[in-house]
Amino acid sequence: MEKALLVTVDLGKREAWSAEERSQELKELARSVGAKVAKEMIVHRHELSAAQYIGIGKAEEIAKICADERIGLVIFNNDLSGSQQKNLEEVIKTKTIDRSQLILDIFARRAHTNEGKLQVELAQLTYLLPRLTGKGIQLSRQGGGIGTVGPGEQKLEVDRRRIKTRISKLKDELEDLSKRRAMMRKKRTRFSILTIAIVGYTNVGKSTLLNALTNSKVVTQDKLFATLDPTIRKFVLPNKQKLLFVDTVGFVTDLPHHLVEAFKATLEEVVESDILLHLVDISHPKAMEQSDAVYKVLEEIGAKDKTMITVLNKIDIVSDPIVIQRAKNAFNASVAVSALKKEGLEGLINSILPHIASLMATVKIEIPQSDAKTLNLIYENGRVISREYKGDSVLIEAEVPLRIKEILESK
């Protein structure tokens, strides 16, 4: 386990997250990749140093701590330029990474599918390209530690032109995968299964909620970014109508832009869904700020205006009913649940039903009994209200998704 020193710089600005709170989240990020946090520092500065970010004096102080306590990794809770990172490593004589690089490392460890791995590599190379400015510790690393998972030394040592070529190739491959995903979505649309995407800050319980709703066994972990690849599960409403729930990658404050860009193909599941369930961990002291971070990413990917239901999770941890009520007052159109204890799920389904109803329409249609395909389309995706047999045909009145109505009317 790699010993790490965490550094959070406080510029004295009034921000939603205090330096202490940002330091705590950095600790959780570091622990989620197996780092042993040996020491945390909050550095107060009025202005940043262009050369070493925190200034030469503070860098030398950190170098002494690392030498005395045999710390092999320094993680900054801020983004460093390539030259600042190189200069800091020359002074500290220890591997030094910033918050974006740490998050990229987490994503590299969590990516299991081919698409996820391609997305992470694209984000890593996009991050590293402007930092290939010298042969300091960063470029001579031999892989195997935090901040080194992914492209590795060989890819880092190649020239810019080859890295740009690799970036271009990755973008082409992801574009092909995106088209394939779009075709799968088109197939789902053709059969008109309504889709609900579960979104939220990382580690708020999205996979746990998916498991609770659909009785599935998606792996859940008390780690940041435990889910990277979207998971889709079928669900049947009390009225027998089918829909799909999609579990998505968690968001975080100041999610690196190139990471959002790389994962846009995956996040298309959010953009293309019919309804969003925004899961909020109300046991977290910064629940409102986490929620704001989610809204920011939704805006960035063009999904902030979608129909959204706010789900207040982890009521089993919050013992004070006043806290739950305050959360309900703060978030309009919200429903409180415990995904872990499966509490409040009936209320959640009841809150979904009116939104589903707005996406449905009633149709009356006469169909030949031999037309099994059309009959199956209605039964699979809608709710049959009545049916009456007339010779070789059947007169059906049914409630179906609007897209199915369009298909039936075109017949």
pLDDT per position as a tens digit, 230-253: 678 888 888 777 888 888 777 777
Of 301 and 52, which is predicted with more confidence?
52
Q: In this model, does residue 15 exceed pLDDT 60?
A: yes
Angle at 182 between CA 179 and CA 188, to 5 degrees: 150
| pLDDT cut 90: percent of the chain above it | 28
Most confident of 139-148, 202-211, 212-221: 202-211
Model confidence over 330-376: pLDDT tens digits?
888 799 999 999 999 999 999 998 888 888 889 999 999 889 888 88
Mode of pairing for the β-strands spanning 383-390 and 393-401: antiparallel
d(CA 56, CA 170): 39
Pick the CATH number of 3-157 from 3.40.50.11060, 3.30.465.10, 3.30.420.40, 3.40.50.1000: 3.40.50.11060
The model's pLDDT over 171-213, given as tens digits with 9 standing for 90+, comes to 998 888 878 877 776 665 555 678 899 999 888 998 899 989 9
Tell me what the pLDDT averaged over the chain comes to: 82
End-to-end CA distance of the chain: 64
Predicted local distance difference test score (pLDDT) of residue 243:
85
Sequence ranges of the domains in the chain: 3-157, 193-357, 359-409
In this prediction, residue 384 carries a pLDDT of 87
- Interval 16-51: pLDDT, tens: 788 888 898 889 888 888 889 999 999 988 888 899
Q: Give the tens place of pLDDT for each residue, 57-110.
A: 999 999 999 999 999 999 999 888 888 998 999 999 999 999 888 888 887 877
The more confidently predicted of residues 3 and 120 is: 3
Residue 140 pLDDT class (50, 70, 90 cuts): very low
At residue 42, the pLDDT reads: 92
Q: Do domains 3-157 and 193-357 have the same CATH topology?
A: yes
Q: What are phi and psi of 27, to 5 degrees?
A: -60, -45
- In CATH terms, 193-357 corresponds, of 1.10.540.10, 3.40.50.300, 3.40.120.10, 3.40.50.620, to 3.40.50.300
- Mapped to the 3 state alphabet, what secondary structure does the chain carry? CCEEEEEEEECCCCCCCCHHHHHHHHHHHHHCCCCEEEEEEEEECCCCECCCECCHHHHHHHHHHHHHHCCCEEEECCCCCHHHHHHHHHHHCCEEEEHHHHHHHHHHHHCCCHHHHHHHHHHHHHHHHHHCCCCCHHHHCCCCCCCCCCCHHHHHHCCHHHHHHHHHHHHHHHHHHHHHHHHHHHHHHHCCCEEEEEEEECCCCHHHHHHHHHCCCCCCCCCCCCCCCCEEEEEECCCCCEEEEEECCCECCCCCHHHHHHCHHHHHHHHCCCEEEEEEECCCCCHHHHHHHHHHHHHHCCCCCCCEEEEEECCCCCCCHHHHHHHHHHCCCEEECECCCCECHHHHHHHHHHHHHHCEEEEEEEEECCCHHHHHHHHHHCEEEEEEEECCEEEEEEEEEHHHHHHHHCC
